[in-house]
Structure 1
């Protein structure tokens, strides 16, 4: 049941220029993947396109100055990463799963059998690693003790979130929301059906946030990103029959919720014309109070940069120089970190 849509209010008159904390160069022209360390002031960065497979690295950078403090080579780019309960990292490449040392990133274990191809989501739970690829409908649970893999078919454009000590949430872009136990011994239970959405986030209060709108659009034989949405929705997983909707007044795709559930942040987009083509670029970061949807922060990155990652808990975001902009070093991208 959807309740009448609310509208956000703004405590700021417009986007402010981002105050940059640091700049650095990372190998690869584009398609870098980033993850903020949940416990340390660090960000992990996987090298992007344009680097030889054997040279691709996963790197740890300090959030205060961007200095690299650790790195490792795994023979391919890391596509998904999650923190395990023992403090180590679980990292997925195209066809392999690795356990890495929590500080040095040194490889500890490797799994190669029946690992889902191109996994871009990972959740650790119990003795299992749960993985999915957004374009495939199946969720996989890899038993890290035995190597056995269970698979459950749930829906495409899937995102997975750890909920509590026993369960995870699978949010599929067609609107199906599932809850399953770690290991997927039983088929997950569908708890809700919502309008289609393109991104999801789960806060520490058990509320699932959705950016309502299609994930992709088809024009003839071409499939590309859908037009950004301005509609945010929220569902309490313990009362999943009620869906609250709010119009944020900004076009966006990606959303992130703070662990406390007090703020919701979005990567807002701007319409830009490049060589006669109209594209949407992720240029802004806006934060809203979850209690009344009042915008309390709105910043914009410098021209030619695009926002890649936001962390509302650490109040930082990272952006890279867009791939359509010429650079002095075509094999590297400029990465910036800024506060919001």
Structure 2
């Protein structure tokens, strides 16, 4: 599905672009043991599905040009309408509802407004019926949507007390992802839900580390639930489409692990994304000898033992010209 088709289905409006997602969603998804671990795409799909349902609810777009059904949501995210392997995540009482992120309801929003107290209010099918004594003619009695629970109530305690502290009302500890980023990713087969999920993860980190987040591939894999091989592929694609900037640190033979440097990542704004993939810088592999020639002599002394790592290890310096790769 191309970007133009997605825009039509979701009734895209340039004024309805921002959406804030809770930062804890990454930990909650990774901690969920019920995900099918055979494929990294399931956890990425869960994030992307939650994002889209939250956006559709926030801007009352579940039922504008057409009713956006579960089947339609799958198609937007690059799956066939009849694909069943994801249903355990999105069905009523499925994983996302068990985790407290979504809730199935027929009481979907029709319009929204900001009142005089600057509080977001929705007119739903139920409130419309209470006011006018009937349901709107353009709606369907049996049409179901997902209510984004975390957008209204961030915790079980606030849900019980009906305190509106969700992401629609308080953006503390959130990351903002514009809908344009979502549409771009879904329209690119090489990026899809996994690329979108990783972009959102890095965006979350950049909100904390605005100069760029230094993070290893292992840390990204652990904190996203994406397998290492899949992770490398999709991070490369994000770089190729100019969605992220990565300051690549060299891999150095014989360098003590305590001195290894992680790559530095920054997301880019949607307007800088590329229309097609372009070649990107590969990680350099060099010997310690060459590294010290380029960057200066490093301190190999282990502060914990007082010993020189290179004197203890069975090491050999190799000129990069002798390396077979």
If each structure's helix is expressed as a fraction of its own residues, which one has the higher value?
2
**Fold match by TM threshold 0.5:** no
TM-score by length of 2: 0.27
* Structure having the higher Rg: 2
